[in-house]
Amino acid sequence: MTALRVLSVSSDFDRWEELLRLIQESFAYMDGVIDPPSSAQQLTADNLREKAKDETGFAAFVGDELAGCVFIKEKDDHFYLGKLAVAPGFEGQGIGRKLVDRAEQQAVARGKPVMELQTRIELTRNHAVFEKLGYRKVAETAHPGFTRTTSITMRKEITRGTDINP
């Protein structure tokens, strides 16, 4: 594999349509599996651009090819990790892990070494992946209008002595 680069999605980023396609393709397997449908279906290139103004985004590149992304949003005592996406052709190559590592590095650098995320209750493979990355389930929630659990909240305290927080 060509060297992987993880870069900030900054004001000079100009591949919004491509980023939108990557997220939509990465989340497509959820169609018909999760209810309610993923918010990724409501994304547009314009609101992704706005998201990047309010949140910190990272994009992974293999050569010049966009291979993945993640966004983190600063909260009172932690960062929220969302829209982690890896292009289907790059799955299983550690790109998602590298993106999560970079997001966690940012949280530590900003003095809030705690990361939180939500994943849908039906996506048990995602639960297992995040558990392997050190995340633990801390809550179950239901989307508005639902009486059953639709998602779980997972949290990780990034401790000293790890690769990213020596």
Q: Is the pLDDT of residue 27 over 60?
A: yes
pLDDT of 12 higher than 90? no
CATH architecture, domain 4-157: 3-Layer(aba) Sandwich (3.40)
In terms of Cα–Cα distance, which of 130, 131, 153 is closest to 142?
A: 153
Q: How confident is the model at residue 144 (pLDDT cuts 50, 70, 90)?
A: very high
160 has a pLDDT exceeding 60: no
Q: What percent of the chain has pLDDT over 70?
A: 95
> Any idea which of 49-58, 93-102, 128-137, 153-162 has the lowest mean pLDDT?
153-162
Q: Which residues, other chains included, contact 50 with Cβ-Cβ below 8 Å and sequence gap of 6+?
A: none
Residue position matching structure tokens 């004001």 = 11
Alpha-carbon gap, residue 19 to 25, rounded angstroms: 10
Question: What's the pLDDT band for 159 if we cut at 50, 70, 90?
Answer: confident
What pLDDT is attached to residue 162?
A: 52
Write out the two tokens for 156: 């990780």
Q: What are the tens digits of pLDDT across the range 56-114?
A: 999 999 999 999 999 999 999 999 999 999 999 999 999 999 999 999 999 999 999 99
Residue 45: which residues within 8 A CB-CB, separation 6 or more?
16, 17, 19, 20
Calculate the CA dihedral of residues 62, 123, 75, 66 and round it to 10 degrees: 10
**Residue matched to tokens 């009486």:** 147
Amino acid identity of residue 68, one-letter, is: G
> Quick one: pLDDT band at residue 24, thresholds 50, 70, 90?
very high
Q: State the pTM of this model.
A: 0.92
- Give the three-class secondary structure for 98: helix
Q: Does pLDDT of 164 surpass 80?
A: no
- Average pLDDT of the residues in 124-146: 96
- Three-state SS for 66-96 is EEEEEEEEECCCCEEEEEEEECHHHCCCCHH
| Paired tokens of 140 | 């179950």
Q: Which two tokens stand for residue 126?
A: 């995602």
Judge whether 154 and 117 are in contact, CB under 8 Å: yes
CB 149 within 8 A of CB 121: yes
